[in-house]
Structure 1
Amino acid sequence: MLVEERRQKVLELVKDRGFVALNDLAARLDFSESTLRRDLDYWDQLGFLKRTHGGAMYTGGQLVMPALEDRTSTSLSEKQIIAQAAAERIRDGDAILLDGGTTTLEVARRLAGRSLQIVTNSLPIANLFASSREVDLVLLGGYVYPKTGVMLGPLCTRMMEDIHVHQAILSVGGITSKGLFNSNLLLVETERQMMRCADEVVVVADHTKLGRQALAFLCELEAIDTLIVDAGVTDEQRALVEGAGVKLIVAGEPTSARESEFGS
């Protein structure tokens, strides 16, 4: 069997089942697990599936929006480190609300295969979990912003009135001493309702967002509980967060050093 033919069979099996364990795949196709692991990694890199512990789940790859895809490559390594730190704070069984965005999409990719309740307004994120047997998925409705595939507006906010989650994980366009900002007026209205739904409001942002201001004001810094950033954050920016009494997590630092509760 040619490599291309084997890879295609691997993808078809994962697509048909939604999730396939590596040992089941090896038994079905009669290839070694090491060979099939490389095939799964190949499709993972192309965005058609997501590698999980012991297997892979189908994601399709077809719902990545062009504008979102372009932004994903910007500061990708920082976003991945931030996403890992955010995912590690989530416990199995938690209810999580994931905002749309490139960093929150990376968080979602690291939650694949876990037992969670996930609420999202993002089509790309929902696509990751649509076939998952482990995740209870709630997709919020509303006006679809075509550049990024997120739901916005009054319908979306009304759907959240009866929703309660442990964490709302948000992406923002900028953070300054004035507060947090995003690029769309409808988006910030939706995100404010997300914040009302959560026990903990977590913002994930790479260091390039700090010191930057965007079109629409979201909230003051004091309104969020936790900010997860990468090691590119400056001392001055740390002090800004410290003054607001926000928990700062610097992803990539040792666990004992990276998380600090300011103002305590």
Structure 2
Amino acid sequence: MKKQHRYKDIVDYLKDTNLTTVDELVQTLNVSPATVRRDLIDLENQGVVRRTHGGVTLNNFVATQLSVQEKNQLFKAEKERISKAAAERVESGNSIILDAGTTTMEIAKNITHLPLRVITPDLRIALFLSEFKQIEVTMFGGEIDNASQSCVGEHARRLLQSIHTDIAFISSNFWSFEHGVTTPKEAKTALKADMMKCAEESILVADSSKYNSFSLFKVAELDQFSEIYTDSELSQEAREKLMSFNGKLHIL
């Protein structure tokens, strides 16, 4: 079993059990104790799980964010399904915001056939879309956040105060029914909130592995999004809670 598949299976198992042990994971994954321990160390370093004396549990509060390189390795298939469906919301001639993130990068890959105006803080998205002549790309500018390789700060916020777009696709590492969308950095919180304010509608794109986690700064409540795109690994309990919102929930 590939490492990334094991990571996903560990997270899924913890969503069902809340707390588990190395021995239980050995039986569930059918791998050696040494392999499980290495995987748990990796997941703990990424902030996904927390090891205790009694075993291991999901780390619901996350103080830091993963780097782009680390995010790229996680839940690729889910992100591809989410982004393909979300990209269908984009029409020829739209002006859209693509928030920084690996899922929004996948959305960018699915809209290259359309004439569009795209505003983004993400360096990778901007460089990728700049190759397509029918797409007008605007970068936020300002200070670069090393972890996400995207622009943050007051310079970026000033640009958003002067524009109005059709859709803002917002990404998030941390989202939950109780806490909404949160981030570990105050600068990103204000920027994401500004993206939502200047768009006709805001759409959240976030895979289910990030659900039920939260960090220090709140961006928005979930009911502030007109639509939410996530994947089919989202638990039935979470689905029932989220269906109570006025916005549309898309399970891919």
TM-score (normalizing by structure 2): 0.71
Identity %: 26
1:83·1:107 contact (CA, 8 Å) conserved in 2?
yes
1:173·1:183 contact (CA, 8 Å) conserved in 2?
no
Is the aligned partner of 1:141 residue 2:144?
no
Deviations for 1:78-127, whole angstroms, at most 9, x for unmatched residues? Answer: 00000100111111111110000111111111112321110101100001
2:244 alignment partner, SS class:
helix
Distance 1:183 1:135 in 2: 32
Report what 2:103 is aligned to.
103
Q: Which amino acid aligns with 1:104?
A: T
2:130·2:136 contact (CA, 8 Å) conserved in 1?
no
1:83·1:104 contact (CA, 8 Å) conserved in 2?
yes
Q: Which amino acid aligns with 2:112?
A: A
Q: Which amino acid aligns with 2:235?
A: T
Report what 2:218 is aligned to.
217
Q: Flag the structure with more relative contact order, 1 or 2, with Cα contacts below 8 A and sequence separation at least 6.
A: 2
RMSD (Å), alpha carbons: 1.4
Question: Would you say how many aligned residue pairs link Structure 1 and Structure 2?
Answer: 186
Q: Which residues in structure 2 correspond to 1:7-156 (within 5 Å)?
A: 67-156=67-156
Q: Which stretch shifts more, 132-141 or 178-187?
A: 178-187
Report what 1:245 is aligned to.
246
1:68·1:101 contact (CA, 8 Å) conserved in 2?
yes
Distance 2:107 2:184 in 1: 21
1:202·1:227 contact (CA, 8 Å) conserved in 2?
yes
- The structural deviation recorded for 1:70 is 2.1
Distance 2:91 2:69 in 1: 28
Q: Which stretch shifts more, 111-120 or 79-88?
A: 111-120
Where does the alignment leave 5 or more consecutive residues of structure 2 unmatched? Answer: 1-65
Moved over 3 A (4+): none
Where does the alignment leave 5 or more consecutive residues of structure 1 unmatched? Answer: 1-65, 252-264
Distance 2:167 2:99 in 1: 11
TM-score (normalizing by structure 1): 0.68
Distance 1:206 1:121 in 2: 20
2:152·2:191 contact (CA, 8 Å) conserved in 1?
yes
In structure 2, the CA distance between the partners of 1:215 and 1:201, relative to structure 1 (3 Å rule), is same
Distance 2:121 2:94 in 1: 18
